[in-house]
Structure 1
Amino acid sequence: MYAPATSDYLRLSYRPDLQLLIMRWTRPATSQEHRDGYAAVLALARQEQSGRWLIDLRSRGLADLNDLHWVLNDFRHDFQAALPGATRRIAYLTTPYHADILRPRLAEYDQNSGNSTQIQVFTEELPAQQWLQHGQ
């Protein structure tokens, strides 16, 4: 496993065998740290040409609504532009409580017909990795 970036709030790694980026938040993050973290994972995604991301929110919790909307609107366009030909899937790994909050928030995002980035919420890592690899 390749581990390119570590900070006190974020650990990034790349699994070349699965072509999978893993973003693990280690504590709650400020809005700036949130955006910096996504910029770091996007830079790694460009380098590795990987559009499959596992984002572990279990130690961090959910972002505030403004940061979530930023990810779903602004960042999504950067992600699509960075990897236009890649399959783009994001699996959020959360606690069951946070999954129940995040799923309805993402439902509105799923209604956008121009959206070519799939996002799912999981409470266990193995099903998340399987979905990232196979889309099922």
Structure 2
Amino acid sequence: MQAPEIDYVALSYRPDLRLLFLRWKRPASPAEHRAGYQAALQLARKEQAGRWLVDLRSRGLADPNDLQWVLREFRSDFQAALPDTTRRLAYLTTPYHADILRPRLLELDTPTDGGTDIRVFTEEMPAQQWLQSGN
């Protein structure tokens, strides 16, 4: 299912894969960053999609404050919206950005209940395989 397009992000849900795709098209402001995630959450609620591939290759990394927002506020909203679903976020990045994002996540990610797993990938197939594995 294709969601309405926003000029800075493309959202789609693949029922055959049971994956939501959030593909950033360009760098985004903090307001666009939050709006993109909220638009994806609306689609996820509709499809009961807890497994997301977040493609950052055209966008680059978010500001550390925006990453903290995802890890704290958005993660809480995500868990509340899909409480009975396995929740996983796979960040697809360039190798350079993966080397920056992985330690940032280790430093900033302190989930209280471990209800949403987050991993960083540099290739799409391993990301999809991880998203589809497990419960």
CA drift at 1:111? 4.5
Gaps of 5+ in 2: none
- 1:99-114 alignment to 2 at 5 Å? 99-114=98-113
Equivalent residue, structure 2, for 1:83: 82
Is this contact kept in 1: 2:3–2:12, CA < 8 A? Answer: yes
1:1-136 equivalences under 5 Å are 2-135=1-134
Q: TM-score, normalising length from structure 1?
A: 0.95
1:13–1:125 CA distance, 2 compared to 1 (3 A): same
What fraction of aligned residue pairs are identical, expressed as a percent? 69
Give the number of equivalent residue pairs: 134
- Following TM superposition, the consecutive aligned residue runs of length 4 or more in structure 1 with deviations greater than 6 angstroms are none
| TM-score of the superposed pair, with normalisation by structure 2 | 0.95
Q: Which structure 1 segments of 5+ residues have no match?
A: none
CA distance in 2, matches of 1:114, 1:30: 29
Query: In 2 relative to 1, CA 83–109 (structure 1 residues): closer, same or farther, beyond 3 Å?
Result: farther
